[in-house]
Amino acid sequence: MHCQRCRGYMIRDSFVDLRDDTGRVLFEGWRCINCGEVVDPVVLTHRMAIPPKPYRGQTRDRRTWERLTAA
């Protein structure tokens, strides 16, 4: 696995997060040995999530419009 920031080599590592609001204290993740980037399963889940599509609708006179939703 390579770092998405610097393309450096990433290693499996264990992390302790005392502020984790998911209830986990110890978790497994990936750490870049080059820049220190940490990727944990929660980060991966968010990164792989499909971003919301722009909302599309029609005005009364049936012109199509779209509004970008803030992520």
Interface with Zn ion (CB under 5 A): 3, 5-6, 8, 32, 34-35, 37
**Rounded least distance, CB 54 to Zn ion, Å:** 32
Closer CB to Zn ion, 30 or 32, in the complex: 32
Comparing CA positions, the residue from 27, 40, 30 lying closest to residue 8 is 30
In the complex, minimum distance from the CB of residue 1 to Zn ion, in angstroms, rounded to a whole number? 11
Closest distance of CB 19 from Zn ion, Å: 23
Smallest Cα–Cα separation from 52: which of 70, 34, 32, 28? 70
Number of helices and strands in the chain (H, E): 1, 5
